Amino acid sequence: MNQHERHVVFGTGPLGSWTAQALVDQGQAVTMISRSGKAPYAPAGVEIRRGDAGNSEQVAELTQGAAAVYQCAQPAYHRWPEEFPALQESILRGVMRSGAKLIVAENLYMYGDPQGRVLTENTPYAAHTRKGRTRQAMTEALFAAHARGDVRAASARGSDFYGPYEPITAGMIYQPALAGKTVNMLGRLDQPHSFTYLPDFGRALAILGTNDTGLGRAWHVPTPPPLTQRELVDLIAAEIGRPVKVRGSGALILSIMGLFNPGAGETVEMLYEFKQPFVMDSSAFTNAFGLQPTALREAVAATVAWNRTPAAMPTAGAHA
């Protein structure tokens, strides 16, 4: 690891902010880029610049001289197929011109329905949803560029994530629980599911950006053993100190919610993740780089603590 290199993070949301924090903890110089020029959760000492990730010329200029670039930006959830590929292609082309490494944050949608099998980095792609096919096309384009020698790239893939700064789980789960309301989870409550902690995701991205041995492939972010959604709510209840009521939301309820919130409607096609075991193996990253996932109780406690702060309050009612 080389300290005091310049690292550029596109996206100033929760994941971009935790990636920046991990890089700062390493002693790196970090610039965060957003269209607005604002980064509400940026760590102290980070440079914030205004820029359009959809303009490859701007990307090339903003990343000139950078050691690594982190792609944590994304469009609105319901606009992924229309906007996400072009956004990432612009960042890819800009970074190809600047010569930096490109580290991309991904999820597990490209694998499709695992049918109960544990997902590893070697699981074949079998996307069958709109957003899954979008993710598959994007990751195939990324690693094709790496194979051609156009860019040095790697990606980190997390399962459904949560943690401080994250507004969706805040509005769906943590703030209703703190307010004594019923928590709405997705699908069945009794199926094992992998949940990735955002600070761990940020640390994994930072490691890939500062260690060339991770280039050329996708890695699963270190994630604790799976638990059911009911078990997750029980951990939250133990931290809050009182029982939390919970119910599962199916396709009908989410479709009705989608009439008012397009993002809620977009979750319907992803319900297969919550109707059966959805488990990710992340041992390869831990074995290669030594990063252990944060213990579930510690991660839930930190997330509950953040949701008790004034900074979390505006997220009430947010939904995927």
Structure tokens at 197: 């902690």
Q: What is the pLDDT of residues 45-56, one digit of tens each?
A: 999 999 999 999
The verdict on 50 and 142 lying in the same domain is yes
pTM equals 0.95
Mean per-residue pLDDT of the chain: 93
Q: Tell me what pLDDT residue 315 has.
A: 46
State the pLDDT at residue 268.
85
81 inside domain: yes
Domain span at residue 70 reads 6-159+195-220
Task: Encode pLDDT of 118-161 as tens digits.
Answer: 999 999 999 999 999 999 999 999 999 999 999 999 999 999 99
pLDDT at residue 2, rounded to an integer: 53
The pLDDT of residue 318 is 32
**pLDDT: which is higher, 7 or 267:** 7
CATH code: domain of residue 305: 3.90.25
pLDDT at 37: 93
∠ CA 149-152-157, nearest 5°, is 125
Q: Does some domain include residue 285?
A: no
CA atoms within 13 A on the CB side of 33: 23
Residue 68 forms beta bridges with which residues?
7, 101
Same structural domain, 88 and 123: yes
314 vs 141, which has greater pLDDT?
Answer: 141
Into how many domains does the chain fold?
A: 2
pLDDT at 94 over 70: yes
Work out the number of other CB atoms within 10 angstroms of the CB of residue 44. Answer: 6
